[in-house]
A and B are shown apart, each in its own frame.
Chain A
Amino acid sequence: MRIIVVGCGRMGAHLAQVLVGKGQDVCVVDDDPGAFDRLRSDFPGRIVIGTGIDEDVLGDAGAGEPDTALLAVTSDDATNFMVGEVARHLFGITRIGVRINDPELEPLIVDAGLHPINVPALVARHISKLTDPDNRGA
């Protein structure tokens, strides 16, 4: 499976490295050429320079090819939502993760058939495990 990661910030770059480490075919998209410096110099995936909301840019990243998943993980919720909608409606991709920093947006993302990556909620859940008596010392 091909995975397109939109946004090569700290989260996107880290995510791309983890995915290639698992042997996935990864393409990273960012409109700032300097953002790719966050990837290791031996990064084996592809990079595409451009904004992920642009149909042509996603096409270059392989959005039109079968068996493709997309993860929109820029720091901007509106951009991630729009990237997800373009991937879904203009390319027919069904496995789409959309990072959101505003938990209020989760119902909308779910309603649109996209998978929310609700960062504050995920982090809070993870941290709360630290205070869970069953996980003491974990």
Chain B
Amino acid sequence: MYCVIIGGGKVGFHLSLILQAQGHEVTVIEKDTAKLERLERELGEAAVHGDGSRPSVLESAGCRRADVVVAVTGDDAVNLLISQIAAKIFGVQRTMARLNSPRNRRIFAALGVEGTVSSTAIIADLIGREVATREIHTLLSFKSGEITIVEIDLPKSAPVAGKSLRDIELPQGALLVSVLRGAEVILPTGATILAADDRLIALCSHATEAALRTAVLGA
């Protein structure tokens, strides 16, 4: 699949890593040159500089042949505009957008923008259910929250700290995508040894989130 992602912040960056790890071709468009430098370091040629809300920029990023366009900037109006350019000008079949404010949900739905994800609503929902979310954060979720990308900060007490991945049993349906250690991004293999203060990025289904938490952070 060819995926074009607009917005190379935290969400866009991790989403790119995940999609690349799954073997998809990815282009990330970012207009801020400071953010772009980091993206280029980690993603190489997949990172492109430009204003993704301009049709010409989307076109040169190959939007016409994209299977999916995902707009994940911090500005809902920009995300909506991009999704409409992709769908109506370039005929992209699947357009997804990040919803920063749950208040905007109705217009996104009215325009048929798929998989709108409001991290604000998800976090509010978690807090509402009084779930301990201190070390685990939802970065993005798909299919109305069924599949989520989570970020886990490993405390010193974590049972997995000091263990190699091949010795750690993760629940079925959870996939560790990357390990962030200081400025370093590690694409994990079985030999990767986790350490305290690592930040783990994982993909999991909503149903396995609790099991993943227990496996990584302990009961």
Chain A interfacial positions (CB closer than 8 Å to B): 53-55, 76-79, 81-82, 85-86, 89-90, 102, 104-105, 107-108, 111-112
Contact = CB atoms under 8 A, between A and B. Distances in A.
A54 B85 contact: no
Interface of B: 53-56, 75-78, 80-81, 84-85, 88-89, 103-104, 106-107, 110-111
| Interface of A, helix, strand, loop or mixed by DSSP | helix
Contacts of B104: 53, 82
B84 A81 contact: yes
Given A85-B107, A89-B111, A105-B55, A78 B88 contact: no
A108 B80 contact: no
A108 B55 contact: yes
A85 B104 CA distance: 12
A65 to B, nearest CB: 19
B92 to A, nearest CB: 13
Contacts of A78: 53, 75, 77-78, 80-81
Given A89-B111, A90-B106, A111-B88, A53 B77 contact: yes
A85 B89 contact: no
Given A53-B77, A81-B77, 10 more contacts: A55-B106, A77-B81, A78-B77, A78-B80, A79-B77, A89-B107, A90-B110, A104-B55, A108-B55, A111-B88
